Amino acid sequence: MKDLTPRKIVEELDKYIIGQDKAKHAVAIALRNRWRRQQVKGELLEEIMPNNIILIGPTGVGKTEISRRLSNLANAPFIKVEASKFTEVGYVGRDVESMIRELMSIAINDVRAEMMKEVQEQAEVRAREKLIDLLYPPQPSIPNESEEDIQKRMERHNRVRQKMEKLLNDGELNDREVEILMDNPKPPHIEIFPQNGFENLDLQLGEIMAGIIPGRRDQRKKRTKVRDALRQLTEIESSQMVSREKVNAEAKRRVENDGIIFIDEIDKIVANYERSSGADVSRSGVQRDLLPIVEGSNVPTKFGIINTSHILFIAAGAFSKSKPSDLIPELQGRFPIREELNSLSQEDLKKILVYPRNSLTKQYIALFASEGVELKFTESAVEGIASFAARANEKMEDIGARRLHTIMNALLDDYLFNMPDPRITRLTVTKTMVSSKLARIIEDEDLSKYIL
Ligand SMILES: Nc1ncnc2c1ncn2[C@@H]1O[C@H](COP(=O)(O)OP(=O)(O)OP(=O)(O)O)[C@@H](O)[C@H]1O
Ligand SMILES: [Mg+2]
């Protein structure tokens, strides 16, 4: 984290997102400030508030993508919620605090997985010992045995054990069967919280999967191959070696200090988003519910109380029918930073096709390779695709880079259907191919509405 300077963050984001420099700039500062804050000593530490951000921009220009990449970079607990989820018609909506509980359970899973990985090696050593005990159980003592005989018997036992150990380590016993004791999964008991969705049920199930519930054990014997037994015993051992309290404490620390919540579609909870009076009430209601969480409050979760004061909130919305200033004033105040993202030009679209690590052309090249076809795009073909995408965005609705998906699909549809075909081993997409395939569709208003 120390090396993740704002410049470096932007550099990393540049690998995936074309343009949108101002937004990258803003999120880079916000992320770095969290690290800076944690270097501060004393009472100021509590005073420094996160730079919550609203990203404003048309659909498909990279708002969600920026946040997604940012969270990968930060290795921080991250969730994305749709603000409109909290206003579902006919139901009070999911309670807003559920996002904190969800974030916490994500952090718990991450931390637990990390800690289990740390003890993995040691756990495997233990699991191997247990397995040898099972394969070659210690023998009961024989009555009236002389000291000397005991000695001899023990030596022999140890020799065999060592041989077994070697066989086990060499994988020679992998296919042998062994009987191990497994915890029976407990039936999930559902906790009823008022206005609660299903996320608690998820938590319960997650816990059962990890088999970390101590106390009442309901065990059963199970025959399995040594190979699988080793894996299962290692898992059991490592989950026993990881303390629940430690996991909780670390997850809580991460959520409270590094957590990032991305609230998408925040423009849809503006009161006058659409004309219908009933929903207006619930929309400003959601804003009001959001406020304490963004401002900082204590939210009870299964894993303890979480203080939300320093969680970073990044909101995003198209704000085509409304403005950020239509949000209730208190909430506006909690998002001091506004950044606009521009709609994508033909030049941007062209770069998006090629440059990002996960660019569409790279994705299709990989898909074709799976069928043994070497796919290539000439530069002018890429230009052509971008130009058709830009035209389609102009003629119909501007859906940003998402248009590239539909265009590419229309372009390569025949091949995608006909592969594998021994006659197709390579394909170079040229400008001519692009034009002949797409021109007809784009000129025809009706066709383009359905296909692009
Ligand atoms: N500037 C960009 N650079 C690279 N890829 C982009 C860019 N903008 C959009 N994309 C790609 O387009 C797709 C949609 O982008 P994204 O999900 O970020 O849209 P959005 O701005 O959140 O739109 P919406 O308002 O509809 O949620 C993603 O697959 C993303 O990779
Ligand atoms: Mg989005």
What is the CATH topology of the domain spanning 6-105+254-340? Rossmann fold (3.40.50)
Rounded Cα distance, 87 and 290, in Å: 12
Closest ligand 1 atom to Cα of 352: 4
For the chain, domain boundaries = 6-105+254-340, 109-251, 346-442
Which pLDDT score, from 0 to 100, does residue 149 have? 87
Are 383 and 407 in contact by the 8 Å Cβ rule? The answer is no
In CATH, the architecture of 346-442 is Orthogonal Bundle (1.10)
Quote the pLDDT of residue 217.
57
Write the residue with the smallest CA distance to atom 6 of ligand 1. 62
Nearest ligand to the CA of 340 is: 1
**Protein residues with C-beta less than 5 angstroms from the ion ligand 2:** 63-64
pLDDT tens-place string over residues 99-113: 999 999 999 999 999
In angstroms, the CA 276 to CA 153 distance is 86
Pocket of ligand 1 (CB under 6 A): 17-20, 59-65, 264, 318, 352, 356, 400-402
Atom of ligand 1 nearest to the CA of 401: 12
Ligand 2 centroid to residue 192 C-alpha, Å: 32
Pick the atom of ligand 1 nearest to 58's CA.
25
pLDDT for 178 equals 85
Q: What is the pLDDT of residue 192?
A: 47
d(CA 66, CA 83): 18
Asked if residue 201 lies in contact with residue 166, where contact means CB atoms within 8 angstroms, the answer is no
| Tens-digit pLDDT profile for residues 399-445 | 999 999 999 999 999 999 998 999 989 999 999 999 998 888 777 76
pLDDT of residue 196: 45
**Whole-number pLDDT of residue 223:** 86
CA 234–ligand 2 middle distance (angstroms): 41
Low-confidence residues of the chain: pLDDT under 70: 88-94, 184-218, 271-282, 445-447, 451-452
- Closest-CA residue, ligand 1 atom 5, reads 17
- Which residues make beta-bridge pairs with 374? 426
Q: 58 C-alpha vs ligand 1 centroid, how far in Å? A: 10
**Alpha-carbon distance 237 to 11, whole Å?**
41
The β-bridge partners of 260 are 78, 312
Residue 257 confidence (pLDDT)? 92
For residue 358, which atom of ligand 1 is closest to its CA?
Answer: 31
Distance (Å) from CA 13 to ligand 1 centroid: 13
Ligand minimally distant from the alpha carbon of residue 56: 1
Nearest residue CA, atom 29 of ligand 1? 402
